[in-house]
Amino acid sequence: VENVKLLDRYANRKAASGTLYLTATHLIYVDASAEVRKETWILHHHISSVEKLPLTTAGYPLLIHCKNFHVAHFVIGQERDCHDVFTSLLKLSQPVKPEDLYAFSYNPKMSKENREMGWKLIDLKLDYQRMGIPNDYWEITDINKDYEVCNTYPPKIVVPRAATRAVVMGSSRFRSRGRIPVLSYLYKENNAALCRCSQPLAGFSARCLEDEQMLQAIREANPGSSFMYVVDTRPKLNAMANRAAGKGYENEDHYENIRFKFIGIENIHVMRSSLQKLLEVCEMKSPSMSDFLTGLENSGWLRHIKAVMDAGVFLAKAVGEEGVSVLVHCSDGWDRTAQVCSLAALLLDPFYRTFKGFMVLIEKEWIAMGHKFSHRCGHLDGDPKEVSPVFTQFVECVWQLMQQFPCSFEFNERFLLQIHDHVYSCQFGNFLGTCHKEREELRIFEKTHSLWPFLLQRKQELRNPLYRGFTAYKELQPNTLPFSFQFWCGMYNRFDKGMHPKQCVLEQLLSLVSHKVTLEDDAAQLENKLPLLDGPLPSEGCSLPKAGSAAPRAP
Amino acid sequence: TNEWRLSCVNKEFSVCSSYPPVVIVPKCVDDEALRKVALFRQGGRFPVLSYYHKKNGMAMLRSSQPLTGTNGRRCKEDEKLINATLRSGRRGFVIDTRPLSVAQQARAKGGGFEQEVHYPQWRRIHKYIERFNILQESFIKLVEACNDQSHNMDRWLSKLEASNWLTHIKELLTAACLAAQCIDRESASVLVHGSEGTDSTLQVTSLAQIILDPRCRTIRGFEALIVREWLQAGHPFQQRCAQSAYSNSKQKWEAPVFLLFLECVWQIHRQFPCSFEFNEQFLIMLFEHAYASQFGTFLGNNENERAKLKLPQKTMSLWSWVNRPEELSRFQNPLYEANILVIWPSVAPQSLQLWEGVFLRWNRPSRFLEEAEEERINIIKYNKELQAKVNTLRRQLAEMEADEEVQEEP
Same domain, A118 and A74: no
Whole-Å CA distances, A231 to A183, A234, A333, A340, B151: 14, 9, 12, 11, 20
In this prediction, residue A15 has a pLDDT band, given cuts at 50, 70 and 90, of confident
Lowest mean pLDDT among A7-16, A156-165, A395-404, B164-173: A7-16
Per-residue pLDDT band at A551 (split at 50, 70, 90): very low
Cα of B351 to nearest chain A Cα, Å: 5
Amino acid at A344: A
CA A443 to chain centre: 23
In a domain, A547, yes or no: no
- H-helix or E-strand containing B313? helix B311-314
Length of chain B: 410
Is A521 part of any domain?
no
Query: Is there a domain that residue A504 lies in?
Result: no
- Residue A159's nearest CA partner among A196, A188, A129, A122 is A196
Interface contact flag, A499 B351, Cβ < 8 Å: yes
How close A530 comes to chain B (CA, Å)?
A: 6
| Average pLDDT of the segment spanning A525-533 | 75
Burial (0-12, 13-18, 19+ Cβ within 10 Å), A191: buried
pLDDT score, position A549: 37
Inform me whether the pLDDT recorded for A180 exceeds 80.
yes
Is the Cβ–Cβ distance between B225 and B60 less than 8 Å? Answer: no
Query: How sure is the predictor about A555, in pLDDT bands with cuts at 50, 70 and 90?
Result: very low
CA–CA separation, B236 vs B290, rounded Å? 11
Task: Specify whether the CB–CB gap between B349 and A293 falls below 8 A.
Answer: yes
ipTM value:
0.94
* Same domain for A339 and A226: yes
Identify from B386, B395, B399, B405 which residue to disrupt to test chain A contact, counting A C-beta atoms within 10 A and taking the largest count.
B386
Torsional sign, CA A330, A336, A337, A343 = negative
Full DSSP string of A474-493: SS-----SGGGPPP-HHHHT
Q: Is the dihedral of CA A434, A440, A442, A448 positive or negative?
A: positive
Catalytic residue numbers of A read 330
Q: At a CB cut-off of 8 Å and minimum separation 6, what does B108 contact?
A: B70
Please enumerate in sequence order all residues whose Cβ is within 8 A of that of B353, keeping only pairs 6 or more positions apart, or say none: A486, B267, B270
- Are the Cβ atoms of B386 and A519 closer than 8 angstroms? yes
Report the distance separating Cα A509 and Cα B382, nearest Å.
12
Residue-level pLDDT at A144: 97
Q: Quick one: average pLDDT of A89-94? A: 93
CB < 8 Å from B in window 208-267 of A? none
* pLDDT tens-digit series, residues A77-90: 999 999 999 999 99
The verdict on A146 and A201 lying in the same domain is yes
CB within 8 Å: A509 and B354: no
Would you state the pLDDT for residue A538? 58
Q: Which residues of A touch B371 (CB under 8 A)?
A: 406-407, 468
Count of positions (residues) in chain A: 555
Residue A125 lies in a domain: yes
Let me know whether A364 and A435 are in one domain. Answer: yes
To 5 degrees, how large is the angle CA B353–CA B355–CA B360?
120
When pLDDT is averaged across residues B221-239 and rounded to a whole number, the result is 96
First to last CA, chain A: 72
* Cα angle for residues A464, A469, A474 (degrees, 5° grid): 115
Alpha-carbon distance A500 to B351, whole Å? 6
Mutate to test the interface with A, among B393, B403, B406 (most CBs of A within 10 A): B393
- Give the residue ranges of DSSP H helices in A45-152: 79-93, 112-120, 124-130
Residue A387 maps to a domain: yes
Q: Is the pLDDT of residue A527 over 50?
A: yes
Percent of chain A scoring above 90 in pLDDT: 89
Q: Does the pLDDT of residue B84 top 90, yes or no?
A: yes
Query: Is A548 a residue whose pLDDT tops 60?
Result: no
pLDDT score, position B410:
58
* B324 CA to centre of own chain: 23
Residues A218 and A358 in one domain: yes
A343 and A487, same domain (yes or no):
yes
**CATH code of residue A87:** 2.30.29.30
Q: How far apart (Å, rounded) are the C-alpha atoms in residues A553 and B399?
A: 12
Alpha-carbon separation of residue A408 from A12, A66, A130, A350, A400 (angstroms): 42, 31, 20, 8, 12
Per DSSP (E only), the strands in B183-327 are: 190-193
pTM (2 d.p.):
0.94
**A26 and A154 part of one domain:** no
Task: Identify the band that residue A32 occupies on the pLDDT scale cut at 50, 70 and 90.
Answer: confident
Assign B153 to helix, strand or coil. Answer: helix
pLDDT computed for residue A4 by the predictor: 93
Selection from A304, A386, A297, A388 nearest residue A340 by Cα: A304
Say if A31 falls within a structural domain. yes
Residue A333 belongs to some domain of the structure: yes
pLDDT tens for each residue of A259-301: 999 999 999 999 999 999 999 999 999 999 999 999 999 999 9
Q: pLDDT band at residue B191, thresholds of 50, 70 and 90?
A: very high
Closest by CA to A194, choosing from A341, A357, A397, A369, is A341
Q: Are B238 and B305 in contact (CB under 8 A)?
A: yes
Give the C-alpha separation, A255 to B346, whole Å: 58
Which residues, 6 or more positions from B256, have their beta carbon under 8 angstroms from its beta carbon?
Answer: B135, B136, B139, B240, B241, B244, B245
Q: Which of residues 497-516 of A touch B (CB under 8 A)?
A: 498-503, 505, 508-509, 512-513, 515-516
Higher pLDDT, A8 or B382: B382
Mean pLDDT of chain A: 93
- Residue B339's pLDDT band (boundaries 50, 70, 90)? confident
Average pLDDT over residues B344-367: 94
pLDDT tier, B278 (very low <50, low <70, confident <90, very high otherwise): very high
Band of the pLDDT at A544, cuts 50, 70, 90?
Answer: very low
In terms of domains, do A302 and A181 share one? Answer: yes
pLDDT of residue B294 exceeding 60, the answer is: yes
Could you give the strand order of the β-sheet that contains A326-329, starting from the edge strand earlier in sequence?
Answer: A182-187, A192-196, A326-329, A228-232, A258-262
Torsion of CA B167, B172, B177, B183, to 10 degrees: 160
Nearest Cα to A275, choosing from A376, A412, A375, A358?
A376
Asked whether the predicted pLDDT for residue A540 surpasses 80, the reply is no
Task: Give pLDDT, residue A535.
Answer: 52
pLDDT of residue B387: 92
Q: How many domains does chain A have?
A: 2
pLDDT at B292 over 60: yes
Tell me, what's the pLDDT at A529?
Answer: 80
Is the pLDDT at A546 greater than 90? The verdict is no
pLDDT at site A528: 84
Q: What's the average model confidence in pLDDT over B361-371?
A: 91
Q: What percent of chain B has pLDDT over 90?
A: 87
CA B178 centroid distance within chain: 15
Mean pLDDT along residues B138-159? 95
Which residue among A33, A60, A93 closes a domain?
Answer: A93
SS3 A229: strand
**DSSP 3-state percent helix, strand, coil across chain B (nearest 5):** 50, 10, 40
Instruction: Inform me whether the C-beta atom of residue B238 falls under 8 Å from chain A C-beta atoms.
Output: no
A404 CB near a chain B CB, below 8 Å? yes
**Residues B34 and B9: beta-carbon distance below 8 Å:** yes
* Structural domain boundaries, residue A342: 112-493
Tens digits of per-residue pLDDT, A128-140? 999 999 999 999 9
Give residue A554's pLDDT: 41
**End position of a domain, from candidates A437, A469, A493:** A493
Q: For position A539, what pLDDT does the model report?
A: 54
Same domain, A224 and A117: yes
Q: Give the residue with greater pLDDT, B243 vs A147.
A: A147
Q: Are residues A197 and A231 in the same domain?
A: yes
Mean pLDDT of A345-374: 98
pLDDT tens profile A302-341: 999 999 999 999 999 999 999 999 999 999 999 999 999 9
> Is residue B205 within 8 angstroms of chain A, CB to CB?
no
- Does residue A553 have a pLDDT over 50? no
Q: Are residues A133 and A50 in the same domain?
A: no
- Taking CA–CA distances from B143, the nearest residue in chain A reads A483
- Residue A312: its pLDDT value, please? 98
- How distant is the Cα of B176 from the closest Cα of chain A, in angstroms? 17
Query: Do A242 and A361 sit in the same domain of this protein?
Result: yes
Query: Is A537 inside any structural domain?
Result: no
Interface contact B379-A512, CB threshold 8 A:
yes
Buried-exposed string A3-28: b where 16+ CB fall within 10 A, e elsewhere: ebbbbebeeeeebeebebeeeebbbe
Across the range B38-59, mean pLDDT stands at 95
Residue A304 Cα, gap to closest chain B Cα (Å): 9
Q: Do A287 and B349 touch (CB under 8 A)?
A: yes
- Residue A74 clears pLDDT 50, i.e. is over it: yes
Residue B400 has pLDDT above 90, yes or no: no
* Beta carbons within 10 angstroms of residue B283's beta carbon: 23
pLDDT tens, position by position, A49-65 = 999 999 988 899 999 99
Per-residue model confidence (pLDDT) at position A542: 43
Reference A511, options A547, A545, A467, A461; nearest CA is A461
